[in-house]
Amino acid sequence: MTRLVEWSWETVLYNTEAIVVKTVRYGESNAILTLLTPLGLTSAMAKGAMKPQSRLSAGAQVCAQGTYFLYQGKGMGTVQQVERTASRRRLHEDLEAAAYAAYFCELVSHAVPERPNAPASAFRQFAALLDQLEAGQHDTSILARMFETKVCRWLGVSPTWTECVRCGRDLSPIVRYHIREGGLLCSGCFSPQEASYTFQVPDRCGAILAVLERTNFEQLGQVAISVQTKKAMDRILFYQLTEFAGLYLKSRAVLDEIARVFDADNENPSR
């Protein structure tokens, strides 16, 4: 957690646990880092970090985690020192994992507010998500859907997945997702005139979304979810994040493009 080390009228030196979620080159050799800390997002300049021999370069890479010592004056903070605890190399070396990592970092940089207003579990959940992605033992699309359910909750665009968005009753077996109302409809509320604003989702899709939302990444066991349910959840959460949270992310388009290539390969293994 954050600890105040020194105080003067001009600047505060403090250290905090942090994960780099964005790095932008500034000038010849400097980097502006966006850091996710347990209290929220903050930006800091890492002087000289783009030089490979810099003592800050390892701590300036996206998905790196550690203790960051920051000088905070009136404007943007400055990184003094980094004690890195995780580099997460696979997220830089594996094409698919890197695309997911880029998407998760862009999502979290839109979903979490600046210090000190972060949702309580955001930092811990994001660190565990990256650890799971690094370990590579879970279906990455399920990790993505899990994280999206949490992001929807943090941004206030999550319906109660087990209730009809219109009447609030428990969902009977046949449900549809309503694109304009942002939630699942029970069969009693659905009328055929609304067919073009809705699409059918598999039974228990809402129940599975509810489970994903409340499961911590540290506790994630092996889960088997049908292809149809995965596709429906992907589509539902995409609408929630774009239509209701307004997040149209570049990294998501890249990820979808890569997923299409991987899917085509799986369907035509001889190629």
Give the shortest CB-193-to-Zn ion separation in angstroms.
Answer: 15
CB nearer to Zn ion: give 79 or 189: 189
Give the whole-angstrom CA distance, residue 63 versus residue 46: 15
97 in helix, strand or coil? helix
164 touching Zn ion, by CB under 5 A? yes
Give the whole-angstrom CA distance, residue 135 versus residue 75: 38
Give the shortest CB-90-to-Zn ion separation in angstroms.
Answer: 44
| Pairing state between β 40-46 and 77-86 | parallel
Choices 49-57, 71-79, 161-169, 243-251; region in contact with Zn ion by CB under 5 A = 161-169
Give the whole-angstrom CA distance, residue 146 versus residue 199: 21
Between 66 and 105, how does the x/- string for binding to Zn ion read (CB under 5 A)?
A: ----------------------------------------
Taking the mean position of all CA atoms in its chain, how far away is CA 207?
A: 21
186 touching Zn ion, by CB under 5 A? yes
Between 14 and 53, how does the x/- string for binding to Zn ion read (CB under 5 A)?
A: ----------------------------------------
Measure CA of the first residue to CA of the last residue in the chain; give whole Å. Answer: 50
Buried b (16+ CB within 10 A) or exposed e, 214-239: eeebeebeeeebeeebbebbeebbeb
Choices 100-108, 149-157, 165-173, 238-246; region in contact with Zn ion by CB under 5 A = 165-173
Radius of gyration of the chain (CA): 21
Q: Would you call the peptide bond into 116 cis, given omega within 30 degrees of 0 as the criterion? A: yes
DSSP state of 193: G
167 touching Zn ion, by CB under 5 A? yes
Nearest in space to 119 (alpha carbons), one of 203, 38, 56: 38
Q: Which of 166, 213, 238, 254 is in the footprint of Zn ion by CB under 5 A?
A: 166
Choices 2-10, 104-112, 183-191, 232-240; region in contact with Zn ion by CB under 5 A = 183-191
CB nearer to Zn ion: give 70 or 164: 164
171 touching Zn ion, by CB under 5 A? no
Q: Which of 122, 129, 184, 189 is in the footprint of Zn ion by CB under 5 A?
A: 189
Give the shortest CB-162-to-Zn ion separation in angstroms.
Answer: 12
- Residue 136: Cβ within 10 Å count: 12
Residues 86, 104: contact at Cβ < 8 Å?
Answer: no
Positive/negative CA dihedral, 230, 175, 163, 240: positive
Residues 35, 20: contact at Cβ < 8 Å?
Answer: yes
CB nearer to Zn ion: give 126 or 190: 190
Between 114 and 153, how does the x/- string for binding to Zn ion read (CB under 5 A)?
A: ----------------------------------------
Footprint of Zn ion on residues 249-268 (CB under 5 A)? none
Total binding residues toward Zn ion, as defined by CB under 5 A: 5
CB nearer to Zn ion: give 138 or 166: 166
Binding site for Zn ion (CB under 5 A): 164, 166-167, 186, 189
